[in-house]
């Protein structure tokens, strides 16, 4: 009796070659799958990690407490000179002022601290007028300026804040008129050909210092004649920046101030950490 031929023996040479090739590919794919599966479980189980899918964290990073801020480089002196350049209606300038005021109050007898103004305005005539109003208060009644500024940064109501700080609009009028005449602030506002880039009215009261320090926008913090970057807009971060500029920091530097930032713009609602990068600037 004739014996049955095996499956491969019954095929011609070309068919046998094709079947063998297909079988080889299947074997290689199976081996590759097994190897990759093993690697997957090995990696995902490294250090005891579960292979199950974990939910993604949804916490708002703005709600996290800010990290302590320390200036990269601050020129030191026995009595630091601290100047914050702002525009009166810049939301980020207002945010920085709210952080600046507690540090200013804490260290006012140990350092020379004040407010200066950016040499152009981005928020209309009201900003020109408020800059000059604040300049006159700080120059003529500095003891009342912090009280006024604390009120003004909380609410956009200069008349109420003048009253709250014990100031009268009439008492400021001669200074305001003199400043407008000296620097021609209103004339320049009304003449758009003088505006920066044809878009922003100039405000020249502290123009010399803007040029000296390279001030580009609001807020800009200057300590001992040099810009200080990377300071979070929180009271304690501002305090740390000022205290880093002392040759021998006073005892007040051991006081911890608030580490949560207030929101940009008017009002004292806390919003968590605040970036130091945003500013009111032309670039």
Quick one: residue 130, left, alpha or beta (phi over 0 = left, psi -120 to 50 = alpha)?
alpha
Nearest to 101 by CA among 90, 113, 91, 92: 113
pTM of the full structure: 0.75
Q: Which SS3 state, helix, strand or coil, does residue 223 take?
A: strand
**What are the beta bridge partners of residue 280?**
218
Any idea how long the chain is? 283
To the nearest 10 degrees (0 to 180), the angle between helices 125-140 and 169-183 is 110
Task: Quote the pLDDT of residue 12.
Answer: 55
What pLDDT score does 274 carry?
Answer: 75
Q: Into which CATH architecture does domain 69-268 fall? A: 3-Layer(aba) Sandwich (3.40)
DSSP one-letter string for the chain = -PPPPPTTTTS-HHHHHHHHHHHHHHHHHHHHHHHHHHHHHHHHTGGG--SSPPPPP---GGGSPPPP---S----BSS-EEEEEE-TT-HHHHHHHHHHHHHHHHHTTTSEEEEEE-SB-SS-HHHHHHHHHHHHHHHH-HHHHHHHHHHHHHSS-HHHHHHHTT--HHHHHHHHHHHHHHH-HHHHHH-GGGSBTTTB-B--TTHHHHHHHT--EESEEEETTEE-----SSHHHHHHHHHTTBSS--GGGG-----SEEPSSSS--EEE---SS--EE--
pLDDT digits (tens, 9 = 90+) for 125-174: 999 999 999 999 999 999 999 999 999 999 999 999 999 999 999 999 99
What pLDDT, in 10s, does the model give residues 185-207? 999 999 999 999 999 999 999 99
> Which parts of the chain sit beneath pLDDT 50?
1-9, 11, 14, 16-19, 21-23, 25-72
Handedness of CA 149, 161, 265, 253 (dihedral sign): positive
pLDDT value, residue 13:
53
Instruction: For 160-188, write each residue's pLDDT tens digit.
Output: 999 999 999 999 999 999 999 999 999 99
């Amino acid at each position: 009796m004739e014996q049955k031929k095996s499956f491969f023996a019954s095929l011609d040479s070309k068919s046998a070659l094709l079947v063998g090739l297909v079988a080889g590919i299947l074997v290689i794919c199976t081996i590759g799958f097994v190897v990759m599966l093993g690697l997957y479980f090995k990696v995902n189980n490294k250090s005891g990690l579960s292979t199950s899918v974990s939910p993604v964290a949804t916490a708002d990073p703005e709600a996290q407490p800010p990290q302590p801020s320390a200036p990269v480089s601050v020129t030191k002196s026995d009595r630091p000179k601290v100047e914050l350049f702002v525009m009166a209606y810049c939301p980020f300038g207002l945010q920085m002022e709210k952080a600046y005021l507690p540090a200013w109050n804490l260290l006012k007898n140990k350092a020379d601290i004040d407010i200066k103004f950016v040499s152009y305005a981005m928020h209309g005539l009201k900003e020109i007028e408020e800059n000059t109003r604040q300049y006159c208060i700080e120059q003529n009644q500095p003891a009342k300026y912090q009280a006024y500024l604390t009120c003004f940064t909380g609410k956009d109501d200069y008349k109420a804040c003048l009253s709250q700080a014990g100031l009268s609009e009439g008492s400021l009028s001669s200074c305001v008129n003199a400043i407008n005449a000296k620097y021609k602030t209103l004339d320049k506002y009304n003449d758009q050909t003088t505006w920066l880039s044809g878009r922003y009215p100039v405000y020249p009261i502290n123009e010399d210092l803007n040029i000296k320090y390279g001030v580009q926008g609001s807020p800009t913090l200057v300590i001992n004649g040099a810009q200080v970057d990377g300071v979070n807009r929180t009271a304690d971060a501002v305090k740390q920046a000022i205290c880093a500029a002392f040759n021998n920091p006073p005892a007040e530097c051991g006081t911890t101030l608030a580490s949560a930032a207030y929101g940009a713009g008017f009002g004292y609602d806390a919003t968590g950490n605040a970036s130091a990068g945003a500013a009111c600037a032309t670039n």
